[in-house]
Amino acid sequence: MRIAVGSDHAGFRYKDLLREHLLRSGFEVEDCGTFSEASCDYPDYAHAVADSVEHGAAQFGILVCGSANGVCITANKHAGVRAALCWEKEIAVLARSHNNANVICLPARFVSVEAAMEMTDVFVSTPFEGGRHQARVEKI
């Protein structure tokens, strides 16, 4: 499975740690940047991750910024992308199982690295339930 990751400067450290965690777990990872803690514009990296998911190059995307709001708003502008802002494990599970989210957005300033890794793990391993949720997702 291929996962695209991206962040702005506020999420850079988390993004790099998550990338390494995913590689150790056997995933193929596309690193869409940023590549330093130098101030940058989050939409550039959110669009890159969302493009990868939108066009099928990656099955999932992971975006990290300070609050995760900006990257989430940006990613959701792409057709077929369902980005979810997650701040605890249960939200990540529901984003996948009920909403068929394919991009997780993590707020580096508000969650620990360990929580971000746990949310990422459950996000990529939780299946979409379909059923009654399928019709709802189709209305998005």
What CATH number does residue 87 fall under?
3.40.1400.10
Looking at residue 72, its pLDDT comes to 98
Strands 28-31 and 60-65: unpaired
Looking at residue 53, its pLDDT comes to 98
Mean pLDDT across 29-37: 98
Mean pLDDT across 33-43: 98
Domain with 93, as residue range(s), is: 2-138
Q: What is the pLDDT of residues 62-107, one digit of tens each?
A: 999 999 999 999 999 999 999 999 999 999 999 999 999 999 999 9
Indicate the residue type of 72: C
Report the C-alpha gap between 139 and 39 in whole angstroms: 37
Number of domains in the chain: 1
Residues with catalytic function = 65, 98
Looking at residue 125, its pLDDT comes to 98
Please, what sign has the CA dihedral across residues 137, 26, 63, 86? Answer: positive
